Amino acid sequence: MSSRFTAILSLAIAVAILVAIGVSTGGIYVSLVAVGLALGLQKYIGSYFGYFLITFSQIFKIGDRIRIGNIKGDVKRIGIFHFMLEEVGEDEKLGGELTGRILHIPNLIVLDQAVLNYSKDYTVKGQLIHSEFIFDEIRVPLTPQSNIPKAVQTLEQILIEENRRQIEQAKAIFGQEYPRYIHEAEGQPHILIHVEPQHIWLKGKFVTPFRTRNEMRTKIYLRFMEQIGKEEDVHLV
C-alpha cells in the first residue's frame, strides 16, 4: 500500500508541475489547481521526507523509547508515512509502564518537534553506543521535625548499595569514555534537600535502565521505609 501510494503521489506531483510549466493558455487556472493539489498533499509529502530524516539521521529506530511533545512510547514500526508507538504512561499515569494503547504518528511531526530518545545513542571513539541507562530521581517527603541528617545518611547508603551494580553495567557498555552523569553517580550519590512549610523533601539520584526504573524506585522506597521504620525520629509525611 505504501509503495503504491508513493508512486501515485510522485506521479501526481510531476504531472501538476509539467502542466503548470507547459500550458500557456489558462496558466492562472492551472497554477491554482497545482497549488491546491500541493496543499492537499503537503502532509503526505512532509511525512514522506520525515521518513528519510528518521531513517538516515537515525533520530530513533525500532525498539527505542522516545518522547515527542506529550507523546511517549516504544517504537514498534517505522513506515513511509507513519511510525507506530506502544504508548508509555507518564509519572502521574502509569509512570514508565506500557498502557496497552498503540499510537500511529505521522512522520512529519519530526520536522518541527523535538525528539527525546531515552535509549541515548552516545558517541565513543566515533562510534554510536546504544544505552538504556538514565539518571533518575526519587523523592521522599518527611516531617519538619524529622532527623534530616539521619534520613539523608540512610537514603545515601541505600543508593550506594543499589546503584553499585547498575554503574558497573553502564561502565562496561561505555568503556572508558562514559557520560558525565556516570562520573557523578560514581562518587557520592546526589541527595538534595528541598524545604516547604509542611514538608521537607529528600531527592536522591541514581543510574538505572529506563525500562526497569520503576522496579528500581520501588526497591529503594521499600528499603528506605523499612530502615526508617526502626527509627523514632524520622517520619514520612
218-229 mean pLDDT? 90
Written as nine digits, the cell of 199 is 514538608
The domain in which residue 155 lies consists of 134-228
**Three-state SS at 87:** strand
Claim to verify: residue 79 and residue 185 sit in the same structural domain: no
Of the candidates 201, 192, 223, the residue with the CA atom closest to the CA atom of residue 141: 201
**pLDDT tens track for 185-217:** 666 667 888 888 888 999 888 888 877 888 888
Neighbours of 34 (CB within 10 A): 18
What is Dmax (Cα atoms) for the chain?
92
User: Picking from 34-43, 65-74, 94-103, which range would have the lowest pLDDT averaged per residue?
Assistant: 34-43
128 belongs to a structural domain: no
> What CATH number should be reported for the domain holding residue 214?
3.30.70.100
Claim to verify: residue 176 and residue 113 sit in the same structural domain: no
**% residues pLDDT > 90 (the chain):** 8
Q: How far apart are CA 204 and CA 148, in angstroms?
A: 14
Claim to verify: residue 99 and residue 169 sit in the same structural domain: no
**pLDDT tens track for 80-120:** 888 999 888 776 555 567 777 888 989 888 888 888 887 76
Claim to verify: residue 48 and residue 82 sit in the same structural domain: yes
How would you label 79-117 residue by residue, b for 16+ Cβ within 10 Å and e otherwise?
Answer: ebbbbbbbbbbeeeeeebeeeeeeeebbbbbbeeeeeeb
How far CA 158 is from CA of 21, 122, 146, 165, 186, in Å, comes to 72, 28, 18, 13, 14
Q: Which pLDDT value is given to residue 62?
A: 85
Claim to verify: residue 193 and residue 81 sit in the same structural domain: no
Claim to verify: residue 87 and residue 138 sit in the same structural domain: no
62-77 mean pLDDT? 86
Number of domains in the chain: 2
pLDDT band at 170 (very low <50, low <70, confident <90, very high): confident
Sheet containing 71-78: order of strands? 98-106, 82-88, 71-78, 65-68, 115-117
Claim to verify: residue 115 and residue 12 sit in the same structural domain: yes
User: Picking from 40-49, 56-65, 104-113, 152-161, which range would have the lowest pLDDT averaged per residue?
Assistant: 40-49
Of the candidates 228, 205, 226, 229, the residue with the CA atom closest to the CA atom of residue 217: 205
Q: How far apart are CA 129 and CA 43, in angstroms?
A: 33
- Mean pLDDT across the chain: 76
Q: Which pLDDT value is given to residue 224?
A: 92
127 belongs to a structural domain: no
Q: Taking the model in full, what pTM does it have?
A: 0.60
Length of the chain: 237
16-34 mean pLDDT? 51
Angle at 168 between CA 166 and CA 172, to 5 degrees: 115
In this model, does residue 1 exceed pLDDT 50? no
126 belongs to a structural domain: no
Our measurement of the distance from residue 118's CA atom to the centroid of its chain's CA atoms, rounded to an integer in Å, reads: 4
Claim to verify: residue 6 and residue 82 sit in the same structural domain: yes
136-164 mean pLDDT? 88
Q: How far apart are CA 108 and CA 54, in angstroms?
A: 10
> What CATH number should be reported for the domain holding residue 6?
2.30.30.60
pLDDT band at 25 (very low <50, low <70, confident <90, very high): very low
Q: Which pLDDT value is given to residue 10?
A: 54
Q: How far apart are CA 147 and CA 150, in angstroms?
A: 6
Q: How far apart are CA 88 and CA 36, in angstroms?
A: 38
Q: Which pLDDT value is given to residue 120?
A: 62
Claim to verify: residue 71 and residue 146 sit in the same structural domain: no
Claim to verify: residue 154 and residue 215 sit in the same structural domain: yes
| Cβ atoms of 177 and 124 closer than 8 Å | yes
Q: Where does a domain end: 75, 95, 119? A: 119
